[in-house]
A and B are shown apart, each in its own frame.
Chain A
């Protein structure tokens, strides 16, 4: 098996809950990411889906080491990021970049496009001062922005254009892996499609690996090779995009897929929808056993006590005790 470009081994990110002002003491832990193992190959797009609060954004930040890992390892080209010194981390992060959800918040309103895009180039010594303008112009062309807008500020652009600037910034250092955290959620449908096409093209042309985080399954299915479904800090199903979304196995994935409204009145009115009761539980006091059991229509007594592990099943991995027992 070729060495994956990015590997996560049992990664955990926990946040302590403290009370008290002078004498702080810990009263609990939020287990935002609780034991995630993943491999991302070169040139692969991995989709990560889940509802709000399931830990997908925390996982993204942990991969980038914007949040420290509580346990486990993040390996980039075989090097552990958590064990790197600060200096090594700066070097290694060149290969690992992020695009955030809200392009209104992730760009500095007081920096022109040129300033935003030239900063990483100069900091990392990618090019000399003379070549910077040319480099920035190339970057802008690559993401479909005219280079004459170089001296404009973020507020002069629309949402879609700002997301293009954010993508150009992530591309500046020619990374090997880009983590995109809900890059199209804040955009209108017609603009969404433009940004998705751009990301797909960049992956094809530059041999990038992409971790694409979203809550919209149809978007994820379109762009991803493989899909991981998260629930309460854990991956519950992992496999090829067509397997997971067209023939889901885990009860949670099934409910998630059946909840997507389809833009086709006849199908939409005739199909049976699995409506899950209740809300996702709090990661402070997760339910025992399988964390999905209180909402699961197929739960049995064993689900309450036994913690399921990801196991190979029908060409993908599923963490459900009863995988295969229902069709």
Chain B
């Protein structure tokens, strides 16, 4: 049985300007200890998918219209609040993009580190602090005994992200959701944090969902990757299969537009047009208006993910028909 199984998740935002279908029928599953990368541009629904699982969607305007997210036998979207509270923050933890805004500036990090422990486990303050110290050591903060009493502003960006990771992992979760954890960091610090997540994942044997827009980050870290566009998964495959044999035109275009893979001096490959307007759903493929291979049928016929090789599915109708 998979650790997490999401089926037909639909999260819509009801605003004055219409209904935005941020996540529109997303299904995937995740095994214990597996690392799944979710890749997409801004507005593709990759963060909203995970926020829905974690119950972090502001309602209203957001609403989870349908779907289920079964974590180890419990449907997180339908179970009573006290049950989901006992899972979220303990067995599933999350780290965010901006470590400055996700730590409370008024509290010493010691208070913030032990909070999840004190809520989820019958543990004394003293014992919790000891665990927090061990955790700070594990994420590579030197002189932890002194620094545990610091405020967030006394740490640099990379150190704050380490504190965030320590806070997320202190309850020894089975699943860690990382929402662009290195986007706000410099490349040399990003390298440190990626190494850290890799090491801790092995130590704690966690499953990780890694949300990012950077295909480079995914290639070294993830076992499996799914590419999202316009609120839907357009391709999902093992990392090697996705990078070496991308099938969906969007994945191919995304790969081709990475500067480092292209010849210097020539024009960069670009995807024409702009991301879709999620408030105006189309019956067909949402990538069709920007797709070089689109035919009239692409705009009207609904698409669905279909398996095309072992552990490789994609949703392009023309690829499924063997036309490209």
**Which residues from chain A sit less than 8 Å from chain B, CB to CB?**
51-52, 158, 160, 188-194, 196-197, 200-201, 215-219, 221-222, 241-242, 255-256, 258-266, 268-269, 273, 275-276, 279-280
Contact = CB atoms under 8 A, between A and B. Distances in A.
Contact of A262 (B216, B244, B267, B270): B216
Given A188-B42, A193-B268, A263 B187 contact: no
B220 to A, nearest CB: 4
B215 interface: yes
A259 B243 contact: no
A276 B140 CA distance: 13
Contacts of B219: 261-265, 268
A260 B41 contact: no
Contacts of A262: 216, 219-220, 260
13 contacts: A189-B213, A196-B268, A197-B268, A200-B267, A222-B262, A222-B264, A256-B188, A261-B220, A262-B219, A265-B243, A268-B219, A275-B192, A279-B157
A190 B186 contact: no
Contacts of B213: 188-189
Q: Which 7 A-B pairs have the closest CB atoms?
A: A261-B216, A218-B260, A268-B220, A51-B186, A259-B191, A190-B271, A193-B268
Given A190-B254, A190-B270, 5 more contacts: A188-B275, A221-B264, A262-B219, A269-B220, A273-B195
A279 B158 contact: yes
A168 to B, nearest CB: 18
B56 interface: no
B253 interface: yes
Contacts of A218: 258-260
A222 B265 CA distance: 7
Nearest to B240: A265
Main secondary structure of the interface of B (DSSP, over half): helix
A275 B254 CA distance: 28
Contacts of B194: 261
A228 B81 CA distance: 55
Nearest to B238: A265
B243 A193 contact: no
Interface of B: 41-42, 156-159, 186-192, 194-195, 213-220, 239-240, 243-244, 253-255, 257-262, 264, 267-271, 274-275
Given A189-B254, A200-B267, A279-B159, A265 B239 contact: yes
A201 B215 CA distance: 26
B270 A194 contact: yes
A215 B194 CA distance: 18
A158 B244 CA distance: 32
A24 to B, nearest CB: 23
Contact of B257 (A189, A200, A279): A189
A158 B257 CA distance: 19
A193 B264 contact: no
Contact of B216 (A52, A192, A222, A260): A260
A70 to B, nearest CB: 26
Nearest to A260: B187
Given A219-B259, A262-B260, A273 B268 contact: no
Contacts of B191: 258-259, 261, 273, 275-276
Nearest to A201: B267
A200 B218 CA distance: 29
A290 B317 CA distance: 58
Nearest to A189: B257
A192 B214 CA distance: 13
B261 to A, nearest CB: 7
* Interface hub of B186, B261, B271, B275 (most chain A Cβ within 10 A): B186
Contacts of B188: 51, 255-256, 259, 275-276
B190 to A, nearest CB: 7
Contact of A160 (B190, B195, B214, B274): B274
Contacts of A280: 186
